A = this chain, B = another copy of it.
Amino acid sequence: MSISSRFSVGIHIITLIEINKDGVSTSEYLAESVNTNPAFIRKIMGMLKKAGLIKVQPGIAGAELAKDLLDITLLDVYKAVNVVKDNELFSIHDNPNPDCTVGRNIQNTIEPIFFTAQTAMEKVLESMTIKDVVKDIIEKEN
């Protein structure tokens, strides 16, 4: 199991739109950098648009950021591309036997632990912004 690459592709897209802000970021242009096909990029762009992170319009070439770099966290992107449902990073087997001490309690016991673990992960994503990513890439280029 791995969290879908839509997440890393989403980060790539937003980062490139910023770095290419003086140019026109079409789905074809972005697809070439990501190394996939334009339709897949457009699907993800649709999700980012729906989440209010980027601006795209039918018929008009190119995408722009809809928010300041500092106001787009990696958690925003993660949620936008719908890779993990709320509180469902871990799946819990269903219908354990209610006639068994463990069976009738395991779900309620495990659920808060999984929630805490998932939240800890998401907090890290929330602490990083696209600005951090852009900055790091620019530094790596020098």
Contact = CB atoms under 8 A, between A and B. Distances in A.
Interface of A: 1-5, 7-9, 11-12, 15-16, 19, 32-36, 74, 83-85, 88-97, 100-103, 105-106, 108-110, 113-114, 116-118, 120-125, 128, 133, 136-137, 140-141
Contact of A5 (B33, B83, B93, B102): B93
Given A1-B3, A91-B3, A92-B8, A102 B15 contact: yes
Contact of A110 (B32, B95, B120, B133): B133
Given A8-B110, A34-B97, A2 B91 contact: yes
13 contacts: A2-B84, A2-B88, A7-B90, A8-B91, A8-B93, A9-B93, A12-B103, A19-B102, A35-B96, A36-B93, A105-B136, A120-B124, A121-B121
Contacts of A2: 1, 84-85, 88-91
A25 B137 CA distance: 55
Q: Taking the full assembly, how many copies of this chain does it contain? A: 2
A2 B93 CA distance: 12
A90 to B, nearest CB: 5
Contacts of A3: 1, 89-91
Given A89-B2, A140-B109, A116 B124 contact: yes
